[in-house]
Every structure is written in C-alpha cells, then in structure tokens.
Amino acid sequence: MISNKMKKLVANSSIIRAMFEEGKRLSAIHGEENVFDYSLGNPNVEPPESIKNEINKILNETTSKLVHGYMNNSGYEDVRSKIAQFINKEHNIDINSSNIVMTCGAAGGLNILLKTLLNPEDEVIVFAPFFGEYRNYVNNFDGKLVVVSTDINTFEPDMKVLKDKINNKTKAIIMNSPNNPTGTVYSEKVIQDLAKLLCEKEEELGTSIYLISDEPYREIVYDNAFVPYILKYYKNSFIGYSYSKSLSLPGERIGYVVANTKMDSFEDIMASLNVANRILGFVNAPSLFQRVIANCLETKVDVNIYKSNRDVLYNHLTKIGFKCVKPQGAFYLFIKTPIADDKKFCEEAKQFNLLIVPGSAFECPGHARLAYCISYEKIQNSLPAFDKLAELYGIK
C-alpha cells in the first residue's frame, strides 16, 4: 500500500536497523561495555553549559509569543540579523537577514534548496564518498544524482573528472567539507579550482550551476585546518549550516541556509526558500532554538575531545597497518579495507564486537567508516579488537 518510491527506501532502511539490532544483540551477550559501536554519527560531547542558561534567560525575559509563536517562515528577523552580523565578522563579507533562512537543521535546508532549484531530471553532482541521504534528498524532487569520484589519496574532487560530468542538465553540486565520511577538509586551492571550473562551464553552457556547501562539521576541525567560506569564492553559492554538531544539538533540528547576494535570481530564490519551508511542512525552524543559537553564536563544543579521539584511533590503526587519509575535521575515519569486499570486512569485524559501516553506504566500496564520536575510554578499550581484526587479515 505504500508508494513505489518508499518501498525501496523502507527495504534499505531495514539494513540500518539491522546494524542497530546487532549492536543490541551483541551487548546482550557480551555486555554493553564490550561492544564498540562506531556506526553512528551521534555527537557524544556534551552541549556547552551556556545552552541551559540561555534557555532559562529566554523563557524568563522574552514574551512567549516571541519564543513559541509563529513568525515569518524564514525565521525571526532579529535572529537572522544576528547570524548575518556574526558571519560578516567571521568571514569579512557583507550579508544581512535577507540572505538567511532558518531551517530544521542542514537536512531541512538541503530539502528546501533542492525543492527550489530542481525540475524533474535536473542533475545534481555529488563527490563520492558522500553522505547517503543526498541521494534521497535529490530523489524527493525527482532529480538525478550524478556521482563523481574523488582523488583516492585525498578524497578531494578532481577537476578533470568533474569537468566531463557537467552538462546543461547540471543544476547543482553538493559539496561537504569537513567531510562525512572521510574527515577531509577541502583546501582553498580546490575551492578556487572548483569555482573557476563552474564559472567556465556556466559561461560555456549558458546555465547557472548552484554550489551547495553542506557544512554541519564546519566547527569540528583540527590542527587549525582552514575551511574556506564558499560565498567568497563563487557567485552561485549556498551554505547549509547546522548546530547539530557545533553545539551538540542534533535532536533540536536547528540550522540555516545562507545564500550569496550576487547569485542569479537571488530574490526569487529567497522567496522560494521561504515558501518551500512552509509547504514541505517545516513551516519554520523550531522557534525557541532559533533564539537559543542566536545567543550562542560565539560558542561551540569542546573540539579537543574529538581531536583526542581522532589521534588515538588514527595513530593506532595506522600503526597496525590500516591505510587511512588523516582526517582534518568531522569525527570520522575512512579506512581502506584490507579486502575489496567492504561489506564482508564489516561483517567479520563484528566477531570482535566492532560495529563499523561499509564504504558502500557512501558509494565508495573498499573502505569503511568509523564514527569516533564515542568516549575516549571506549576507543582505548576497542584497540585490542582492532589488533585482532588486523591479525585476521595478516596486515599487522
């Protein structure tokens, strides 16, 4: 009785549920403390203490209609202004509230963007490996996902490969840096090359190609990695931002889309994002948390916790022979699997109570993702299990 589109998706979702159930099953047998679940990108770092204080302050000082009431579908004007001012200061650009639509996280943001941009059969390019939901989001609006492989040594886009995939049906490109699942941060050179290529292609094809940068991990970077702000590099650019990771508030669904003022059809697009927020059923980003994040723009979680996790895990895994590009951001390690069959590898890892996700889920087989947003202690306790896994494949 369910729609044809959903039938396939429900079948796929049972695979994710199966992994979750497997975790529960293993925990029941071996004890929760002996199961090492690296499968979920669920932040383990606490939200900053100031979140609670700000909520109390807002509830005590602001009239309830301006906390829990309806507002413009794009979000509270004063909240959008504060965010714009913060961005201007951080990145030395010049935007205002009209460049911003508050969204239900980055997922909500990407959906209203694609609703706005896509006609059926329009093409959207993504760089593999990529967050699997992009395929679903594009499919929601009958777009066609075009997967472009990346340089296997850096997981950065290769302009020569990309160039051949752009045609007059190319409506948008979704990039994601810091990247899930690789942890790669695209260099400024890559962003510059990408902007240059897109400008050339727009000129050649007489089309607009919108670059959407999905940036939930912008604040989660290590070793002073620089994350270029794409609005400064390319005219037809959007950023989908979320506070899910920067403030550890993934359940609250709060983020925004910011658009470059100079983009083609800027006013129509902003009007459409506003309407899309409404008609897709979001209506508006959750109201209390709009106010909360506006008061916490300078705040972020303690990134050093993730850095310690990265360091201990990366150092150990590479020491025992696993191959892996060192992540500069996010909280994922994307290892090369010692056998080509990544699903088999992840299946075999379960015998050591290790739950990790095959690269195939990110359309990059021969790899596996480890989400190290778990406790440091847990990671340390898991290292002997990785030793055994390495021994199994004779790589140690």
Which parts of 263-322 interact with its own copies (CB under 8 A)? 264-265, 268-269, 271-272, 274-276, 278-284, 286-289
Question: From CA 111, how far away is CA 117, in angstroms rounded?
Answer: 10
Tell whether residue 110 is a contact of its own copies (CB under 8 A): yes
Distance of CA 33 to the CA centre of its chain: 28
Tell whether residue 369 is a contact of its own copies (CB under 8 A): no
Interface region with its own copies, contact rule CB under 8 A, candidates 61-69, 160-168, 174-182, 348-356: 61-69
**In 134-165, which positions are buried (b, 16+ CB within 10 angstroms) versus exposed (e)?**
bbebbbebebbbbebbbeeeebbbbeeebeee
DSSP strand pairing (210-214 vs 144-149): unpaired
For 62, other C-beta atoms within 10 Å of its C-beta total 13
Tell whether residue 372 is a contact of its own copies (CB under 8 A): no
Question: From CA 211, how far away is CA 223, in angstroms rounded?
Answer: 27
Query: Is there a contact between 329 and 178 (Cβ–Cβ < 8 Å)?
Result: yes
Q: Which of 27, 42, 98, 308 touches its own copies (CB under 8 A)?
A: 42
Whose CA is closest to 172, among 216, 123, 233?
Answer: 123
Measured torsion, CA atoms of residues 125, 127, 130, 133, in degrees rounded to the nearest 10: 0
Whichever of 26 and 257 has its CB closer to its own copies, that residue is 257
Interface region with its own copies, contact rule CB under 8 A, candidates 41-49, 88-96, 191-199, 381-389: 41-49
CB of 131 vs its own copies, minimal distance in Å: 12
Whichever of 239 and 389 has its CB closer to its own copies, that residue is 239
Tell whether residue 356 is a contact of its own copies (CB under 8 A): no
In the three-class reduction of DSSP (H, G, I as helix; E, B as strand; rest coil), residue 395 is classed as coil
CB of 126 vs its own copies, minimal distance in Å: 15
Tell whether residue 52 is a contact of its own copies (CB under 8 A): yes
Q: Which of 6, 15, 28, 152 touches its own copies (CB under 8 A)?
A: 6
* Segment 135 to 154, residues that bind its own copies, using CB under 8 A: 136-137, 139-141
* Segment 225 to 264, residues that bind its own copies, using CB under 8 A: 248-253, 264
